[in-house]
Amino acid sequence: MLPEFNSDGNLPEGVHFATEQEVYERFGMSSARRQWLVERLRELFTLARATGCLSRVILWGSFVTSKEVPNDLDILLLMTDEFDTNTVPGPSAVLFKHLEARVRFRADVFWSKESIGGASIQLWLDTYQTGRDLKRKGIVEVTSL
């Protein structure tokens, strides 16, 4: 279960685990903008799973805060080492083209293979926990993909 927001409207610092359904219920219901973003997120998850190589998904940014009207989705897709952008099923290819994903999903989609290693992944996770105001905040790892 996801923790309550702190006084800044953020999750407490750390990586918090949640199922897809928990993400949809917690972050996707309170405004029309959030509902619209959840529909983009659902489609994004479907396309990422269709690759057969999705390992982990991390969400951060305004979507995982109490902000009523988040700007966009910020997402990291960690793919298995077998992943090859040259063999991605047609519709899923958009996820691995940053600008196209930005336009289609209103999302900044970043991705990497797990083979970058634990230290590099941890650096990314630490970086995503620092807001523009330089305050530390929580991020969400989606489970049960």
9 lies in a domain? no
In a domain, residue 4? The reply is no
pLDDT tens digit sequence for 74-88: 999 999 999 999 999
Find the domain containing 93 and state its range.
Answer: 14-143
Is 5 among the domain residues? no
Please say if the pLDDT value at position 141 is more than 80. Answer: yes
Domain assignment of residue 8, yes or no: no
Please give the single-letter amino acid code of residue 24: Y
Distances (CA, A) of 133 to 26, 61, 87: 24, 12, 40
CATH number of the domain that 102 lies in?
Answer: 3.30.460
pLDDT of 35 above 90: yes
Is position 95 within any domain? yes
- What percent of the chain lies above the pLDDT cut of 70? 100
The residues, any chain, with a CB within 8 Å of residue 3's CB and separated by 6 or more, are: 11, 12, 16, 138
In the chain, the number of structural domains is 1
Checking DSSP bridges between strand 73-79 and strand 107-113, what pairing results, if any?
Answer: parallel
- Within a domain: residue 50? yes
Domain assignment of residue 7, yes or no: no
* Other beta carbons less than 10 A from residue 17's beta carbon: 13
Q: What pLDDT score does 87 carry?
A: 93
Q: What is the pLDDT of residue 21?
A: 96
Average per-residue pLDDT in the chain? 95
Q: 83-107, pLDDT tens digit by residue?
A: 999 999 899 999 999 999 999 999 9
